[in-house]
């Protein structure tokens, strides 16, 4: 099996497609993690906070500290998570709504020869707990053709002055939001269901990928 090169286009697209389909898919079973309080986001306009996939301790990086927490969860009776694992959902790397051995295998692949994942992905999944102790941004998980997708900065200090959002691939264009709180991605009116827009979000000292899919249905709260 060829070694996975973190940051390679093929790896990125495979991961993002997996994220996208998981985010819009149905629940696959009950959580097996510890009883941290699940967060029910209360954002308007259909926005949700996203977390860094693989970042169990919510320090913004995916590294050996997260790998250690993931291994501890797997080893604990009932998958009880240590206190430092504030976002158990981030440990579900294969997005099957369970913390399982395959997640650890995948984490080892991601960190093979690397001190940390170079550009982690952002995602959201309510089926496992996440405390969102350091929320970065809120956004939407899908959009209809022509619809806007806000990228709202939640972390104090983040602004369009020190952070950027660019379209890596897909039918979208980016502009700064009129309220100064982030960016807005305009989905192309000619986008097709099944397309996806991949964004590179650059914050001070950190970069993340985020992808959203094109849906034929408008979200109830969208305009």
By DSSP bridging, strand 206-214 and strand 142-143 are parallel
Q: Build a one-symbol-per-residue string for 40-59: x at contacts with Ca ion by CB under 5 A, - elsewhere.
A: ---------------x-x-x
The minimum distance between CB 11 and Ca ion, in angstroms, equals 18
Binds Ca ion by CB under 5 A, chosen from 32, 96, 144, 222: 96
Q: Are the beta carbons of 183 and 212 closer than 8 angstroms?
A: no
Judged by beta carbon, residue 103 or residue 168, the one nearer Ca ion is 103
Q: Could you give the CA distance from residue 85 to residue 91 in angstroms, rounded to a whole number?
A: 9
Q: Which stretch binds Ca ion (CB under 5 A): 22-30, 80-88, 95-103, 190-198?
A: 95-103
Residue 125 interacting with Ca ion (CB under 5 A): no
Q: Are the beta carbons of 206 and 60 closer than 8 angstroms?
A: yes
The minimum distance between CB 187 and Ca ion, in angstroms, equals 30
Q: Are the beta carbons of 203 and 157 closer than 8 angstroms?
A: no
Judged by beta carbon, residue 98 or residue 127, the one nearer Ca ion is 98
The minimum distance between CB 7 and Ca ion, in angstroms, equals 18
Q: Are the beta carbons of 48 and 138 closer than 8 angstroms?
A: yes
Site residue total, Ca ion (CB under 5 A): 11
Applying the rule CB under 5 A, the residues between 56 and 85 that interact with Ca ion are 57, 59, 61, 66
Buried b (16+ CB within 10 A) or exposed e, 33-61: bbebeebeeeeeebbbbbbbbbbbbbebb
Binds Ca ion by CB under 5 A, chosen from 70, 90, 103, 128: 103
Q: Could you give the CA distance from residue 51 to residue 49 in angstroms, rounded to a whole number?
A: 7
Contact footprint for Ca ion (CB under 5 A): 55, 57, 59, 61, 66, 92, 94, 96, 98, 100, 103
């Amino acid at each position: 099996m060829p070694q996975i090169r973190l940051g390679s286009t093929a790896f990125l697209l495979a991961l993002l497609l997996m994220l996208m389909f998981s985010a819009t898919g149905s629940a696959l079973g009950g959580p097996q993690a510890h009883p941290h309080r699940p967060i029910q986001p209360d954002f308007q306009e259909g926005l949700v906070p996203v977390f860094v996939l693989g970042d169990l301790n919510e320090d913004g990086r995916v590294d050996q500290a997260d790998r250690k927490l993931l291994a501890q969860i797997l080893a604990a009776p009932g998958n009880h998570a240590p206190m430092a694992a504030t976002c158990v959902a981030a440990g579900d790397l294969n997005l099957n709504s369970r913390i399982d051995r395959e997640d650890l295998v995948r984490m080892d692949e991601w960190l093979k020869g690397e001190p940390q994942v170079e550009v982690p992905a952002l995602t959201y999944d309510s089926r496992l707990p996440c405390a969102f102790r350091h929320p970065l941004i809120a956004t939407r998980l899908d959009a209809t053709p022509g619809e806007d997708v806000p990228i709202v900065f939640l972390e104090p200090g983040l602004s369009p002055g020190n952070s950027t959002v660019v379209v890596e691939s897909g039918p979208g264009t980016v502009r700064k939001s009129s309220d100064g709180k982030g960016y807005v991605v305009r989905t192309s009116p000619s986008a097709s269901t099944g397309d996806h827009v991949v964004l590179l979000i650059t914050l001070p000292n950190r970069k993340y990928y985020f992808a959203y899919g094109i849906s034929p249905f408008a979200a109830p709260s969208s305009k």
